[in-house]
Structure 1
Amino acid sequence: MFAMRMKLNEQIIKKDFFKGLYINGSRNGFSFDVQLAYYRGHYLSDIDLIEVYVDGEKMPDEAVTFELRGKELPLYKLKYAVTEFWSQVDLAKIRVLKAGGLTGEHEIELKLMLRIPYMQIGPEHHFMPLDSGEKVSVLLEGE
């Protein structure tokens, strides 16, 4: 599938913002911050795909949430967030529940596809897809 790719910032996934997620004192996941790689920003309802992979394994959608400006949403509710605008300068937080969390070195991939609603392509009025994902290696210390 064709998708426009604009990497306007050095890091989409902010490696310095990886943290363990603790529930009742036990490590049960991780979180990281991401920056949109498109200069115009987007409404959250224009997110067509968001997936998180750890070492090639897809994390279940129900284990992932997306937070912007203090509003945390499960992935299935993003399509209804028609008034929530994600600016290129705002960092969003991705939280992933994972039993035992993560320690050591891991490859983290964020698949993030957006629909650009004002760029129609083709005679059937398909909208331009934008790939705003990234893959990084991170080293998580045991805390």
Structure 2
Amino acid sequence: MMDNKMIVEGSLQREEGGFSFLGRLPYYRGLGLSMIEDIIVSVDGAAIPREAIRFCVRDQTYTLDEMETVYDNRWNFGEKARIVALNGGLPAGNHAITFAVRMRVSYLPFVPTTKDTKQLAMAA
């Protein structure tokens, strides 16, 4: 699919209590948020706990547990969502960010997981 376009280059930013980056859905049709099974983030090889991840789209912020029951919002093809990791923050410099999305697609007999890893720079 579009796995090499998932992480938006140059989008790494500081957040209160962590960091964020922009991510795109790796599926050509867009999906309702309840169809996003999981979002997995790691930085420099260290996994961020699921409960520390927030998903933000069109001025709405959700925990991953909340997304399971969001039926009135979607993540559209090409739309940039802000992925927030509340891990305490990152020092300045380059970091390997891995972003994976597991999604439920009704006509597929399996649950695809697509991921992208990029080196992003955190400004000083």
Q: Normalising to structure 1: TM-score of the pair?
A: 0.78
Structure 1 residue 129 corresponds to structure 2 residue 111: yes
Structure 1 residue 91 corresponds to structure 2 residue 80: yes
Identity of aligned residues (%): 27
Q: CA 1:34–1:120 in structure 2 vs 1: closer, same or farther (change >3 Å)? A: closer
Q: Distance in 2 between matches of 1:114 and 1:141?
A: 32
Amino acid at match of 1:7: M
Structure 1 residue 17 corresponds to structure 2 residue 11: yes
Q: Choose which of 31, 38, 54 in structure 1 pairs with 2:27.
A: 38
Which structure has more relative contact order (CA 8 Å, sep 6+)? It is 2
User: How do 1:1-143 residues align onto structure 2 when only pairs under 5 Å count?
Assistant: 6-7=1-2, 11-21=5-15, 23=16, 28-117=17-106, 119-121=107-109, 128-142=110-124
Higher percent of residues as strand: 1
Tell me if the contact between 1:14 and 1:33 (Cα under 8 Å) persists in the aligned partners. Answer: yes
Larger radius of gyration: 1
Q: How many residues align?
A: 124
Tell me if the contact between 2:8 and 2:22 (Cα under 8 Å) persists in the aligned partners. Answer: yes
Q: Distance in 1 between matches of 2:91 and 2:98?
A: 14
Q: Secondary structure of 1:52's partner?
A: strand
Q: Secondary structure of 2:5's partner?
A: coil
Tell me if the contact between 1:18 and 1:31 (Cα under 8 Å) persists in the aligned partners. Answer: yes
Q: Distance in 2 between matches of 1:111 and 1:102?
A: 23
Q: CA 1:102–1:112 in structure 2 vs 1: closer, same or farther (change >3 Å)? A: farther
Unpaired runs of 5+ residues, structure 1, are 1-5, 122-127
Q: Distance in 2 between matches of 1:100 and 1:84?
A: 29
Cα displacement (A) at 1:47: 1.0
